[in-house]
């Protein structure tokens, strides 16, 4: 039997003493010239990043659009296979933000968990439980559900008030940590650009883990995230940085610099927890 996603996450938090997630979001135009000439340049880029960071992360998070939009699904598959070979203890969250109904949702779940073998996938809750259930039914996999995101326009919908006065994102948090969490494998997305709201989410969801985007290029508040988001065990957070790590250098030392930035973020986080 496979290790459940949440157990794998708890294990790697302790093993690597890290809450850092590296977003593997390659853009061919931004990649260094030294990796562009091979047959699978995106995989070559990712492999070097993984080699340089795998002892200092708790997760990898490839954004599926960066592969599909560049006709690089083969590179994504090669990347996931390499992680399973190089550092099988590190979970992978496939960032796909799926959320549809019926057979479509079942196929999206099959894509994430059976085709790509991801440990978890990001999901959009807008269509409700019947859109999420095909993912939630994979008891050993993780469902990482959008709650209060880091983008500027999030408040247009996520902070709308319900009849009982509760902001919509809090209602979503209650569902994610409550009736939707029947396999105990859910996470929420709570952005680093809204640490006060993240703190409100933590009060609602208890020890349910949070995936926190927005650190780095988006200018998220790391100190606020840790102040409001840590669990009593001083874990409970998966703090993602993508561009700030993988594009730390555009030269032949790109992987070395990515490793340095990962360790720098890890040290900054650990100094605050």
Q: Are 123 and 148 in contact (CB under 8 A)?
A: no
Closest among 54, 146, 147 to 98, alpha carbons compared: 146
Residues identified as active-site: 97
Beta bridge partners of residue 238, listed in sequence order: 211
What is the Cα–Cα distance from 201 to 182, expressed in whole angstroms?
19
Calpha distance 268→273 (Å, rounded): 9
């Amino acid at each position: 039997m496979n290790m459940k996603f949440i157990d794998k996450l708890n294990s790697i938090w302790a093993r690597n003493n890290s809450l850092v997630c590296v977003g593997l979001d390659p853009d061919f135009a931004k990649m260094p010239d030294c990796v562009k000439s091979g047959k699978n340049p995106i995989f070559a880029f990712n492999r070097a990043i993984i080699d340089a960071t795998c002892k200092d992360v708790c997760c990898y998070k490839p954004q599926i659009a960066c592969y599909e939009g560049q006709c690089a699904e083969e590179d994504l598959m090669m990347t996931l296979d390499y992680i399973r070979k190089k550092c099988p203890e590190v979970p992978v969250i496939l960032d796909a933000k799926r959320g549809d109904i019926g057979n479509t949702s079942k196929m999206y779940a099959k894509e994430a968990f059976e085709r790509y073998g991801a440990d978890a996938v990001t999901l959009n809750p807008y269509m409700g439980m019947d859109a999420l259930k095909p993912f939630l039914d994979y008891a050993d996999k993780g469902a990482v559900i959008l709650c209060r995101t880091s983008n500027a326009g999030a408040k247009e919908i996520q902070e709308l008030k319900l009849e009982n006065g509760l902001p919509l994102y809090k209602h979503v948090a209650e569902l994610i940590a409550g009736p939707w969490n029947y396999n105990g494998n859910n996470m929420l997305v709570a952005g680093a650009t809204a640490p006060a709201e993240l703190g409100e989410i933590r009060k609602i969801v208890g020890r349910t883990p949070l995936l926190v985007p927005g650190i780095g290029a988006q200018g998220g508040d790391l100190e606020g995230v840790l102040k409001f988001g840590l669990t009593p065990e001083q874990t409970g957070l998966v703090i993602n940085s993508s561009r700030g790590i993988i594009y730390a250098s555009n030269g032949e030392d790109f992987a070395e610099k990515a490793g340095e930035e990962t360790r720098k973020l890890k040290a900054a986080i650990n100094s605050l927890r």
